[in-house]
Amino acid sequence: MSSFQRIGLIVKQPALQQEETLSILVQLLEERGLETLLDESAADYARQLGIKPTPRDELTQSCDLVIVVGGDGTFLNAARSLADHEVPVLGINLGRLGFLVDVSPEEIPQQLGRVFNGDFIEEERKLLKTEIHRNDEIIGSFYAMNDVTLHVRDVVRMIEFETSIDGQYVNIQRADGLVVCTPTGSTAYALSGGGPILHPTLDAIALVPICPHTLSNRPLVVAGDSEISIRMCGNNRSSGQVAFDGQDNMDLLDEDQILIREHPTPIRLIHPQGYDYYHILRAKLRWSEQP
């Protein structure tokens, strides 16, 4: 018997391809006698089936497994909602890159059949928890699986900010911003900014400056349990903004402080047997291709 009995489905906003994939999934789950909960993101499809969609908070608390149907962006959105729960999650790729969602729609019967038979690989991925402080008060708290990004809002102009790690002053730099990423996020925005690729099993955080004014400001990798503080300096002519996985955003004022720590509860990823991280890198980054 499968160790997963109640399955939650979270999808990208429904389109024809999502509905076709959902139909295959729901049929497979029904054939195995598994209970299916459809997230509110699949409300239109749920109504077609005469099923009431389940609010995200309820779904994340009551499922044994969450299956995400979409691309990496949909997966990141789902992961943040699972941050305080230890529910494993599996991705079906309807997007483009697919670093996190590694089951293709045509493989659903075979790969999910093996997963439900207990033949799978489980992997833990780190999350970041961020607090925004203003005038000694916390005005926002956010999660990120990929990265926390400080950047200029609306205009092309550098901002000035001060960085400290574990209470120790690092530097003041002028740049377009700073990407603070997990190993998972090292292949996202940080990679395009010249940052290193970190293997997902590393307990580390990378800080990658975006177009720094001083070219000697290079990416920095620190221990995963580091506390990173970024303070907006008081003489900025441009407004700053902080983004979480490129999806949630918050505007900043001068002297605001961004405090970033590793979240104590990791995300549990489920991969089919045969998952190979280096194969993912070769395929997605087109390594070893001949010109």
Q: Is 30 domain-assigned?
A: yes
Q: Indicate if the pLDDT at residue 248 is higher than 90.
A: yes
Choose the weakest-confidence range: 46-55, 208-217, 263-272.
46-55
Which pair of tokens denotes residue 213?
Answer: 């004014």
pLDDT for 177: 95
Q: Is 273 domain-assigned?
A: yes
Opening angle at CA 100, ends 87 and 29, nearest 5: 55
Q: Are residues 227 and 174 located together in one domain of the fold?
A: yes
More confident residue, 20 or 249: 249
Q: Are residues 139 and 207 located together in one domain of the fold?
A: yes
Q: Indicate if the pLDDT at residue 224 is higher than 80.
A: yes
Q: Are residues 233 and 134 located together in one domain of the fold?
A: yes
Q: Are residues 162 and 87 located together in one domain of the fold?
A: no
Q: What residue numbers bound the domain in which 204 lies?
A: 128-262
Q: Are residues 115 and 15 located together in one domain of the fold?
A: yes
Q: Indicate if the pLDDT at residue 15 is higher than 60.
A: no
Residue 249: CB atoms within 10 A of its CB come to 13
Task: Report percent pLDDT > 90 for the chain.
Answer: 70
Closest CA to 184 of 31, 80, 60, 29: 80
Q: Is the dihedral of CA 188, 165, 204, 282 positive or negative?
A: positive
Q: Is 153 domain-assigned?
A: yes
Residue 108, C-beta contacts closer than 8 angstroms, at least 6 positions apart: 21, 24, 25, 28, 92
Q: Indicate if the pLDDT at residue 20 is higher than 90.
A: no
CATH number at residue 249: 2.60.200.30
Q: Are residues 58 and 144 located together in one domain of the fold?
A: no
Residue 185 burial (10 A CB sphere; 0-12, 13-18, 19+): buried
Q: Is 290 domain-assigned?
A: no
User: Residue 17 — pLDDT band, cuts 50, 70, 90?
Assistant: low
pLDDT digits (tens, 9 = 90+) for 30-89: 999 999 999 988 888 888 877 788 999 999 999 999 999 989 999 999 999 999 999 999
pLDDT for 135: 94
Structural domain total, the chain: 2
Q: Are residues 40 and 81 located together in one domain of the fold?
A: yes
Q: Is 115 domain-assigned?
A: yes
Q: Is 27 domain-assigned?
A: yes
Asked whether 90 and 66 are in contact (CB, 8 A), the reply is yes
Q: Is 1 domain-assigned?
A: no
Task: Name the strands in the sheet holding 177-181, side by side, starting at the edge strand that comes first in the sequence.
Answer: 220-223, 204-210, 177-181, 147-152, 240-244, 248-252
Choose the weakest-confidence range: 10-24, 68-82, 255-269.
10-24
pLDDT for 268: 96
pLDDT for 52: 85
- Partner residues linked to 152 by β-bridges: 240
Q: Indicate if the pLDDT at residue 208 is higher than 80.
A: yes
Quote the crossing angle between the two packed helices 16-31 and 108-116, to the nearest 10°: 40
Q: Are residues 14 and 81 located together in one domain of the fold?
A: yes
Q: Indicate if the pLDDT at residue 16 is higher than 60.
A: no
Closest CA to 117 of 32, 36, 35: 32
CATH number at residue 71: 3.40.50.10330
Q: Are residues 152 and 41 located together in one domain of the fold?
A: no
Active-site residues: which are they? 72
Counting Cα atoms < 13 Å in the Cβ hemisphere of 32 gives 23
Q: Are residues 95 and 29 located together in one domain of the fold?
A: yes
Q: Is 291 domain-assigned?
A: no
Q: Are residues 153 and 109 located together in one domain of the fold?
A: no
Whether the pTM exceeds 0.85: the reply is yes
Q: Are residues 207 and 252 located together in one domain of the fold?
A: yes
pLDDT digits (tens, 9 = 90+) for 126-141: 999 999 999 999 999 9
Rounded Cα distance, 285 and 288, in Å: 9
Tell me what percent of the chain is helix, strand and coil, each rounded to the nearest 5.
25, 35, 40
Choose the weakest-confidence range: 33-47, 106-120, 184-198.
33-47
